[in-house]
């Protein structure tokens, strides 16, 4: 089977002639992935931030099966259904009170496309068609579709491959003030100058709150976000916050923007929304944004086939019930304490540049880029699944991970980085 995969099936950011072997996952339960040969791996990645309750969760299985027996899907044009209404109620309840409208879509990238359309349409409906650019940040990541790519980091993002066809946006320097650093206005200088100089052409600023994820796993000061909000308000520019990775407790708050006490005009969520069961995302917007778009009878121009898929919404409802009924805050605090204690020892290794922890996110940054061909087998042999990128070994385990399982993850990370250092 894996031979067929290798010959024909494309994987994320990978060659059609792959050099590494694929691991076939047979089933998964709790924090464990079971491979073809029966070996068990602790999943340190939560399948890219999404599987917050672990795999094969009774309550989520039940919700999916009950919904399948009613209807798996129905179009959302002219029709509606209970799973979507319930989910919208909960999401509008747990996010900032200013967010009053919600648009469901099928993936994080699409929710970003919708957010960008909202921002453009908001200003063009006011007769400000020249506000056609987005101010984004270096080291940012917002997805793989064309609009989303156009606001990703211009170097580590995919701009070089698509330079000629991407919408030309404007970029500010990434936040350099790390989470605990003492605030200095100098940190916001570049953003402020860029905004001041270009605001007449800027529809919105887009930013991942507190943690820049796939662009470098950088954890920055809440004051930075607070100042971004104040400045966007001052210049009549909308603020889009991309919580696709950070939402639903990952950083220790239900949403990372809460660290800064701000409210976005537009909010993107996805990844953990269904507990990692299926693809679902949403774009939330304030009344001001929707009323602005609809000036002169305009409407938001988007409508995916699988919009608000009932099966995905039903599982999302079950996942949110499970999360909100659990002591998620305490669980994440415990994970944070343990990550801080156990990952910091990596800083003793010469190859390690820095260890960073926030909530249930642990990052070990190396001085050198990682060789996956070396590291992946080392991790798998030791019974864990960790997938580093660039010079970053990072984990964001399911919230249900036990202290013993987490200890195995952190110990293994130390061992594998130490082995990598020796191999060089």
Instruction: Provide the annotated active-site residues.
Output: 13, 141, 242, 271
CA distance 40 to 29: 10
Candidate ranges 107-115, 172-180, 330-338, 374-382; the one touching ligand PLP (CB under 6 A): 107-115
Any long-range contacts for 421-424 (C-beta under 8 Å, 24+ apart)?
A: 421/349, 421/350, 421/351, 423/374, 424/351, 424/368
Q: Does 141 engage in binding with ligand PLP (CB under 6 A)?
A: yes
Instruction: Give 153 or 242: the residue with its C-beta nearer to ligand PLP.
Output: 242
Which among 80-88, 135-143, 253-261, 373-381 is the span making contact with ligand PLP, rule CB under 6 A? Answer: 135-143
Residue 30 is a binding residue for ligand PLP (CB under 6 A): no
Tell me the residue nearest to ligand PLP as measured from the CB.
108
Q: Cα separation of 168 and 338, whole Å?
A: 43
Determine if 292 is a binding residue for ligand PLP (CB under 6 A).
no
The Cα 145–Cα 142 span in angstroms is: 9
Q: CB 60 → ligand PLP: shortest distance, Å?
A: 18
Q: What is the number of H-type helices and E-type strands within the chain?
A: 14, 16
Does residue 108 bind ligand PLP (CB under 6 A)? yes
User: Phi and psi for 200 in degrees, rounded to 5?
Assistant: -70, -20
Cβ–Cβ < 8 Å for 353, 366: yes
Per CB under 6 A, which region of 104-112, 195-203, 292-300, 377-385 contacts ligand PLP?
104-112
Contacts to ligand PLP from residues 204-263, by CB under 6 A: 208, 213-214, 242, 244-245
Strand order in the sheet with 133-137: 99-105, 281-286, 266-269, 238-242, 202-207, 133-137, 170-172
**283 interacts with ligand PLP by CB under 6 A:** no
Pairing of strands 266-269, 238-242: parallel
Q: From 137-145, 188-196, 325-333, 364-372, give the range in contact with ligand PLP by CB under 6 A.
A: 137-145
- Looking at the Cβ atoms of 141 and 187, the one nearer to ligand PLP is 141
Neighbour tally for 249: CB within 10 Å: 22
Nearer of residues 242 and 365 to ligand PLP, judged by Cβ: 242
**Could you tell me the smallest distance in angstroms from the CB atom of residue 389 to ligand PLP?**
12
Residue selected from 109, 150, 232, 412 as contacting ligand PLP according to rule CB under 6 A = 109
In angstroms, give the least distance from the CB of 38 to ligand PLP: 31
Concatenate the DSSP letters of all residues of 84-97 into one string: HHHHHHHHHHHS-T
360 near ligand PLP, rule: CB under 6 A:
no
Q: Which residue, 206 or 223, is less far from ligand PLP as judged by CB?
A: 206
Count residues contacting ligand PLP (CB under 6 A)?
Answer: 15
Burial profile 132-164: b = 16 or more Cβ within 10 angstroms, e = fewer: bbbbbbbbbbbbbeebbbbbbbbebbbbeeeee
Q: Does 42 sit near ligand PLP (CB under 6 A)?
A: no
Task: Give all strands of the β-sheet with 25-29 in edge-to-edge order.
Answer: 25-29, 32-35, 40-43, 384-385
Question: Which one among 107, 121, 124, 338 touches ligand PLP, defined by CB under 6 A?
Answer: 107
d(CA 253, CA 360): 11
Q: Whole-number minimum distance, CB 284 to ligand PLP, in Å?
A: 15
Q: Compute how many other C-beta atoms are within 10 angstroms of the C-beta atom of residue 351.
A: 16
Q: Which listed residue (131, 133, 142, 227) binds ligand PLP by CB under 6 A?
A: 142
Q: Please give the residue ranges that form the binding site for ligand PLP (CB under 6 A).
A: 107-109, 112, 141-143, 208, 213-214, 242, 244-245, 270-271
């Amino acid at each position: 089977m894996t031979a067929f995969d290798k010959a024909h099936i494309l994987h994320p950011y990978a060659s059609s002639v792959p050099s590494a072997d694929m691991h076939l996952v047979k089933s998964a339960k709790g924090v464990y992935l079971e491979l073809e040969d029966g070996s068990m791996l602790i999943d340190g990645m939560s399948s890219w931030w999404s599987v917050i309750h672990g795999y094969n969760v009774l309550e989520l299985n039940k919700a999916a099966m009950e919904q399948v027996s009613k209807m798996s899907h129905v179009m959302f044009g002219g029709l509606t259904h209970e799973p979507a209404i319930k989910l919208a109620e909960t999401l509008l309840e747990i996010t900032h009170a200013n967010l009053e409208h919600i648009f469901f879509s099928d993936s994080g990238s699409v929710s970003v496309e919708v957010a960008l359309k909202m921002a453009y349409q908001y200003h063009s409906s006011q007769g400000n068609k020249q506000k056609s650019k987005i101010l984004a940040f270096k080291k940012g990541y917002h997805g793989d579709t064309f609009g989303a790519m156009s606001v990703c980091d211009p170097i580590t993002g995919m701009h070089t491959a698509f330079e000629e066809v991407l919408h030309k946006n404007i970029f500010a320097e990434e936040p350099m003030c790390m989470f605990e650093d003492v605030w200095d206005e100098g940190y916001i200088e570049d953003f402020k100058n860029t905004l001041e100089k270009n605001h007449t052409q800027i529809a919105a600023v887009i930013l991942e709150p507190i943690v820049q994820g796939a662009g470098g796993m950088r954890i920055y000061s809440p004051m930075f976000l607070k100042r971004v909000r104040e400045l966007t308000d001052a210049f009549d520019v909308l603020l889009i916050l991309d919580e696709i990775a950070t939402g639903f407790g990952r950083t220790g708050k239900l949403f990372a923007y809460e660290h800064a006490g701000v409210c976005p005009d537009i909010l993107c969520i996805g990844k953990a929304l269904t507990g990692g069961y299926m693809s679902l995302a949403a774009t939330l917007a304030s009344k001001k944004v929707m009323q602005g778009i609809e000036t002169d009878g305009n409407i938001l121009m988007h409508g995916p086939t699988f919009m608000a898929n009932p099966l995905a919404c039903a599982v999302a409802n079950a996942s949110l019930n499970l999360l909100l009924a659990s002591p998620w805050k305490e669980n994440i605090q415990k994970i944070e304490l343990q990550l801080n204690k156990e990952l910091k020892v990596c800083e003793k290794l010469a190859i390690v540049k820095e260890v960073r922890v926030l909530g249930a996110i642990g990052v070990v940054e190396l001085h050198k880029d990682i060789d996956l061909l070396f590291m992946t087998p080392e991790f798998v042999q030791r019974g864990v699944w960790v997938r580093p990128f660039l010079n970053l070994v990072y984990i964001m385990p399911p919230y249900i991970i036990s202290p013993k399982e987490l200890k195995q993850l952190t110990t293994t990370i130390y061992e594998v980085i130490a082995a990598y250092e020796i191999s060089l």
